[in-house]
Amino acid sequence: MSFFLPVLMLICAVVSSPAYANKAQALEIEADNSLEWDRNNKTFMAKGNAVASNGDARVYADALIAHYTENESGDIIIKKIVASGNARTEKSDDVITAREMVAFMNAQNKLDRIEARKNVKITTPNEKATSDKAVYSFSTEIASMSGNVKLTRGANVMLGQKAEFNLKTNVARLFS
């Protein structure tokens, strides 16, 4: 049985206010097993094949915990989503996987950046990159990678300690 929780319903006051009417974008969270709203800790938890969708970007994991704050009017504003267990982010044909992943939201309720740690893998239709850590910006489509970086395209392999991988232009820069 699949549960569905449109977080937009929970933050409708923010979305419907004139200041946010054209800026905010719906964030939807779904899960196969359970959805929980903890008002004391200001979190939403989704368990079992959990997915957070925001425009053309999605965050998947065995469990997702969305942390929020409330403004003076009591409107709910999602700040970050912690993904644990088989964490994966997809945008178009680009995929980021890691053992630990945190997605941060911006003021317009859109995914802003991903911080991934432990066994990070970034795959595009033509390249694969691995590292210990990565920070991906949705606005620039650039992933800054560090720790045991390996960039692979076909038979070509580059190794280093830091890299900047632009997923929009498919240009990767490796630093020793």
Contact 105, 111 (CB under 8 A): yes
pLDDT band at 9 (very low <50, low <70, confident <90, very high): very low
Maximum C-alpha span of the chain: 56
Residues 87 and 116 sit within 8 Å (Cβ to Cβ): yes
Name, in order, each residue with C-beta under 8 angstroms of 141's C-beta and a sequence gap of 6 or more: 91, 94, 166, 167, 168
pLDDT in tens, 99-144: 999 999 988 888 999 999 999 999 999 899 999 999 999 999 999 9
Q: Residue 19: pLDDT above 70?
A: no
71-98: per-residue pLDDT in tens?
Answer: 888 888 899 999 999 999 998 889 999 9
**3-state SS class at 8:** helix
Q: Which residues on neighbouring strands pair with residue 91, listed in sequence order?
A: 57, 94
CA atoms of 37 and 40, how far apart (whole Å): 9
Quote the pLDDT of residue 26.
73
CA–CA separation, 147 vs 149, rounded Å? 6
The model's pTM: 0.81
d(CA 116, CA 99): 8
pLDDT value of residue 16: 34
- Residue 132: name the closest of 94, 99, 156 by CA: 99
CB 116 within 8 A of CB 90: no
Helix (H, G, I), strand (E, B) or coil at 22: coil
